[in-house]
Amino acid sequence: MAIQDIYPTALRLLGRPVLVVGGGAVAARRAKGLLDAGAQVTVVAPVACPALKELADAGLLTWEPRPYRREDVDAVWFVQTATGDSAVDTKVSQDAEAQRIWCVNASDHEASAAWTPAVAVVDDVQIAVNAGGDPRRAMALRNAVATALETGDLPLRRQRAHRGSVALVGGGPGDTGLITVRGRRLLGQADVVVADRLGPRELLNELAPDVRVIEVGKTPGHHPVPQAEINRILVDEAQQGHRVVRLKGGDPYVLGRGGEEAEYCRQHGVDVEVVSGVTSAISVPAAAGIPVTHRGLAKGFSVVTGHEELSEVPARADHTVVLLMGVGALRDSASALGKAGLPQDTPVGIVENGYLPTQRVTIGTLGSIADQAEATGVANPAVIVIGDVVRVSPFAPPHFKTADYSTTTPNKPRTTASTTRVLTP
């Protein structure tokens, strides 16, 4: 049988009786697939493997513990052989053929009237691959196509009218490789993208020409599209039947107002999904080799957006403080932490444009960092890390290093001189 002899189609077996002859692992897989399609499955086999017994014991299929009989193919719509005995499989196939019933002969794909493809399901798209009777080849191709759909490399976007929805997608710190697979897939399905100025902006260039991009980006102190208007846009577009992706930098629920947007959608009867992203609070310091926790240096961390909250966080070098959107208030924040008792020689790292070609790392101390930032023109987007974990960064000057941040020795902070050194990757 050549591949040209195959007419690809899909069977709708919901509620229809089908027969599986065989009781091993292959029969169990085929029976499970038929059950997933809603078929009424009968298995005929003297012995059944544990997986088949479990399905039978649960009442999901009927198991006849005996050898095959010719009358077993009567009144069924579809037959699958999987006995491992070519003579039995051939007999079943011939009996089915005589009654014009489609049968998959697992022992002889060349003589089989039907082939079972390698199948994968991505959202509501089902992929079925036949590869000239070579099941391993079919599975490899199936997996490759499924991966391309899941990552957004192939279009999953619906072309017919459908119910509108909103997905709040965390795009990570900006590198296109740091968005989640789920987020990338939803972006590929979008009719409308409501985009921030941060996040993986390059992915917008890969959208189909008819996908609308609505820019709602904010900068510190400048919100051209107020949050209430963003909420309205999401709901209005979804109610028009569009699949809307709200593409955000970082994570929607980490200082991203995603909770407000999700609540507004639900209040207006719009389906909403939240896709977590790689938050810049952790990932951007990592781009500079700074862990927010490190054995022997810091067991916990706090993420804040301004100096007002700093009175609430531990003022210790062994508790990392991560400041988001904090460049403008850096001097006030440093002062607040100093007044709370944090030593002036506590290391501070600033990472601008994390993961982008323009990334820059500036390292100093609590006492020097504000002057240093002004002198070098530090600007948002930037993440500020305060604490002994900055010592771990490969960009830290040599005198910041200490032997006391191993995995076995507790940290014993030592006095270090202030520095205004700027290091760029």
Does the structure show a pLDDT above 90 at 245? Answer: yes
The mean pLDDT of 219-239, rounded to a whole number, is 86
Does the structure show a pLDDT above 90 at 307? Answer: no
- From the list 72, 95, 196, 345, the catalytic residue is 196
pLDDT of residue 382: 93
The mean pLDDT of 303-312, rounded to a whole number, is 78
Does the structure show a pLDDT above 90 at 167? Answer: yes
The mean pLDDT of 103-115, rounded to a whole number, is 82
What string of DSSP letters covers 74-100? TT-SEEEE--S-HHHHHHHHHHHHHTT
Does the structure show a pLDDT above 80 at 410? Answer: no
The string of pLDDT tens digits covering residues 19-33 is 999 999 999 999 999
| All residues at 6 or more sequence positions from 223 whose CB lies less than 8 Å from its CB, including other chains | none
pLDDT of residue 24: 93
Residue of 316 and 109 predicted with greater confidence: 316
**Annotated domain spans of the chain:** 15-115, 117-150, 165-278, 282-423
* Check whether domain 282-423 has CATH 3.30.950.10, yes or no: yes
Backbone angles phi, psi at 264, to 5 degrees: -65, -40
> Is 412 annotated as catalytic?
no
Q: Which of 262-266, 272-276, 411-415 has the lowest mean pLDDT?
A: 411-415
319-337 CB burial, b ≥16 within 10 A, e <16? bbbbbbbbbebbeebbebb
Q: What percent of the chain has pLDDT over 90?
A: 58
User: At 241, which amino acid appears?
Assistant: G
Does the structure show a pLDDT above 60 at 403? Answer: no
* First-last CA distance in the chain: 60
Residue of 111 and 304 predicted with greater confidence: 304
What stretches of 134-290 adopt beta strand conformation (E)? Answer: 165-170, 192-195, 212-215, 243-248, 271-275
pLDDT of residue 223: 65
Residue of 219 and 14 predicted with greater confidence: 14
| All residues at 6 or more sequence positions from 76 whose CB lies less than 8 Å from its CB, including other chains | 17, 18, 19, 42, 101
Upstream peptide bond of 173 is cis (omega within 30 degrees of 0): no
Does the structure show a pLDDT above 90 at 414? Answer: no
The mean pLDDT of 229-257, rounded to a whole number, is 94
- From the list 32, 218, 236, 332, the catalytic residue is 218
pLDDT of residue 415: 38
Residue 306 pLDDT grade (very low, low, confident, very high; cuts 50, 70, 90) = low
The mean pLDDT of 235-248, rounded to a whole number, is 95
pLDDT of residue 402: 65
Report, at the CATH architecture level, how domain 15-115 is classified. Answer: 3-Layer(aba) Sandwich (3.40)
Residue 208 pLDDT grade (very low, low, confident, very high; cuts 50, 70, 90) = confident
**Which tokens belong to 326?**
């904090």
**Which tokens belong to 6?**
């195959």
Does the structure show a pLDDT above 80 at 242? Answer: yes
The mean pLDDT of 261-276, rounded to a whole number, is 95
Span 165-278: which CATH code?
3.40.1010.10
Question: How many angstroms separate the Cα of 250 from the Cα of each of 176, 198, 231, 284?
Answer: 12, 8, 19, 10
What string of DSSP letters covers 374-422? HHHT--SSEEEEESGGGGGSTTS-GGG--TT-SSSS------------E
pLDDT of residue 418: 35
The string of pLDDT tens digits covering residues 25-73 is 999 999 999 999 899 999 999 999 999 999 999 999 999 999 999 999 9
| Sheet of strand 17-21, all strands in order from the earlier edge strand to the far edge | 62-64, 40-44, 17-21, 78-81, 102-105
How large is the angle between the packed helices 181-189 and 135-150, nearest 10 degrees? 80
The string of pLDDT tens digits covering residues 343-399 is 999 999 999 999 888 999 999 999 999 999 999 999 988 999 999 999 999 999 888
Q: Round the average pLDDT of the chain to a whole number and report it.
A: 86
Does the structure show a pLDDT above 70 at 413? Answer: no
> Is 218 annotated as catalytic?
yes
The mean pLDDT of 301-323, rounded to a whole number, is 85
Residue 421 pLDDT grade (very low, low, confident, very high; cuts 50, 70, 90) = very low
The mean pLDDT of 292-300, rounded to a whole number, is 90
Q: What percent of the chain has pLDDT over 70?
A: 90
Does the structure show a pLDDT above 50 at 159? Answer: yes
Does the structure show a pLDDT above 70 at 2? Answer: no
The mean pLDDT of 398-421, rounded to a whole number, is 52
